Amino acid sequence: MKVLGISASPRAGGNTDILLDKALEGVKASGARVQKVILNTLKFSPCQECQNTRDDGTCIVEDDMQSVYKRIEETDIVILASPIFFGSLSAQAKMMIDRFQCIWRVKYMLKKDIFGRKKKGAFICVEASSREDFFNNAKSILKNFFATINAEYSQELFCMGVDEKGKILKYPHLLQKAFELGKSMV
Ligand SMILES: Cc1cc2nc3c(=O)[nH]c(=O)nc-3n(C[C@H](O)[C@H](O)[C@H](O)COP(=O)(O)O)c2cc1C
């Protein structure tokens, strides 16, 4: 069983990162293999809308996203963690998701399901405010992304009222929830 954690925060060691690491600890406790991708350390461009170029679901832009496609294709479980930025996912998360247009097009327009086996997906999200609508905005994008990569939206953890770097450490019950989320995904 392979599990891929994707951190979409620019703040290394921040709340998103800490929650994702806890979830991945839970995954490891269940004996699965873990990989982690930190989107902010990758060099990749936003989608260039070259969508009619290829019919095999591959993207023509040769950058660090190529390794992300491969890792997602090969994984059984994806856990994506993002902070809320301006009421939705971070730009890092959205940029990655838009780059899956090549997969979306082949799956839904050409009706070819070429992108790997069935997976499960979980979403971890953190915000400073207490706005449920912001989580819902992010969730609807995430669900669309998960459907595109054949991942069933299985679990979520939304943490409100968390702003400064590392503040999540003051909430052991949320860290425990992240751990349990990871454990139960496997
Ligand atoms: C550019 C930016 C935009 C943000 N927008 C929101 C927002 O719309 N709503 C909110 O509740 N918090 C917002 N925040 C606060 C972050 O969601 C919050 O600080 C979160 O804990 C950051 O997670 P991190 O430590 O993983 O980066 C924003 C922060 C930044 C830097």
86, 133, 164, 175: residue to mutate for ligand 1 pocket, most atoms within 8 A of CB: 86
Q: Which residue has 């992240």 as its token pair?
A: 178
Cβ pair 101, 135 in contact under 8 A: no
144 CA from centroid of ligand 1 (Å)? 22
Mutate to test the pocket of ligand 1, among 38, 85, 136 (most ligand atoms within 8 A of CB): 85
Q: What region, left, alpha or beta, does residue 119 occupy, with left being phi > 0 and alpha being psi -120 to 50 degrees? A: beta
Q: Which atom of ligand 1 is nearest to the CA of 165?
A: 25
Contact (Cβ atoms closer than 8 angstroms) between residue 14 and residue 154:
no
Domains of the chain are 2-185 (3.40.50.360)
Protein residue with least CA distance to atom 6, ligand 1: 85
Distance 12 CA to ligand 1 centre (A): 14
Contact 125, 135 (CB under 8 A): yes
Residue 113 has what pLDDT?
83
User: Residue 15: CB within 6 Å of ligand 1?
Assistant: yes
Residue type, 177: K
> What kind and span of H or E run contains 37?
strand 33-38
And the tokens for 155?
């679990």
Residuewise pLDDT in 10s, the chain (186 residues): 999 999 999 999 999 999 999 999 999 999 999 999 999 999 999 999 997 778 989 999 999 999 999 999 999 999 999 999 999 999 999 999 999 999 999 999 999 887 778 999 999 999 999 999 999 999 999 999 999 999 999 999 999 999 999 999 999 999 999 999 999 999
Per-residue model confidence (pLDDT) at position 51? 74
Q: Which of 6, 40, 127 to mutate to test the pocket of ligand 1 (most atoms within 8 A of CB)?
A: 127
- Predicted model pTM: 0.98
Residue 90 beta carbon below 6 angstroms from any ligand 1 atom = no
